[in-house]
Amino acid sequence: MVLEIENVFHSYGQRRVLKGISCRFEEGMIYGIIGPNGAGKSTLLRIMAGMEKPHAGRVLWEDRTLEGPDPRIACMWQQLYLFQSTVSDNILYGLKIRRWPRREQEKRLAYLLENFRLAELAKRPVGSLSGGETARVALARAVAPRPRLLILDEPAASLDPFHTLLLENSLRWTCREEGMTAVIVTHDLFQAKRIAGQTLFIRDGVLEEQGPTEQVFGNPCSPETRKFIAGEL
């Protein structure tokens, strides 16, 4: 187990956003989180990343309470913020601040450029990239330091189908090759079906269902899950 959420509650003012959520995330798997707008999905991600502390309950990270951001937890948010430099500079950033040896930095950079199909763009300024290229650079930068957990919030929301597939393939490859766990919030149900081994459905701050993606979409246990997938919620 990489991360466990135990009976987490969270509020903003008088509005309770998360209502006793408990779930577990295992090593090397991709988890999809689906649910209506305002269900609490992004709040849950911020708590998982250590950016916010739950008002009740706890988050266990490698069997210890997560007290704040951890360098082994990486994030990729819907709004992509890249440094206004080259593709290579962006990917190398996390390795430099962690003081990786120069030779290891160069080896890791070459590995990611090749496997994320970015080699021809290595010296390009990020301002000249397309949306799909920018997303792949952001993903490569996030995984460069070999995090154990990657949290993604709608990473392909503005991408066309071709670049969405490239991004998904890069994410799937990283999890398989490096044993990384990924948790992705998506409004694209087809994306969750394609990429996630397990899917969580959250509605009104409650975890209605978690299970193998094939089961959640094909034979959901919760009537609310069934309604959401059918477009009735």
pLDDT tens digits, residue range 61-70? 988 999 999 9
The reply to whether 16 falls in a domain is no
Let me know: does 49 contact 56? Beta carbons within 8 Å.
no
The reply to whether 160 falls in a domain is yes
The token pair at 30 is 């991709």
Find the mean pLDDT for residues 52-73: 93
The reply to whether 8 falls in a domain is no
- Neighbouring C-beta atoms of residue 4, cutoff 10 Å: 17
- The closest alpha carbon to 18, from 44, 36, 37, belongs to 44
The reply to whether 171 falls in a domain is yes
CA distance 59 to 212: 22
Find the mean pLDDT for residues 199-203: 97
The reply to whether 31 falls in a domain is yes
Let me know: does 216 contact 209? Beta carbons within 8 Å.
yes
CA angle 205, 223, 4 (to 5 degrees): 40
Check residue 1 and give its pLDDT: 66
Check residue 80 and give its pLDDT: 84
Q: How many domains does the chain have?
A: 1
- For 160, the domain range is 23-229
For 135, phi then psi, to 5°, come to: -65, -40
The token pair at 159 is 């991408």
pLDDT tens digits, residue range 74-117? 999 888 889 889 999 999 999 999 999 999 999 999 999 999 99
The reply to whether 11 falls in a domain is no
Check residue 70 and give its pLDDT: 94
CA distance 9 to 56: 5
CATH code for the domain in which residue 216 is found? 3.40.50.300
The reply to whether 46 falls in a domain is yes
CA distance 215 to 188: 17
CA distance 45 to 50: 9
pLDDT at position 39 over 80: yes
pLDDT tens digits, residue range 209-225? 999 999 999 999 999 99
Q: In which element (H, E) is residue 170 found?
A: helix 161-178
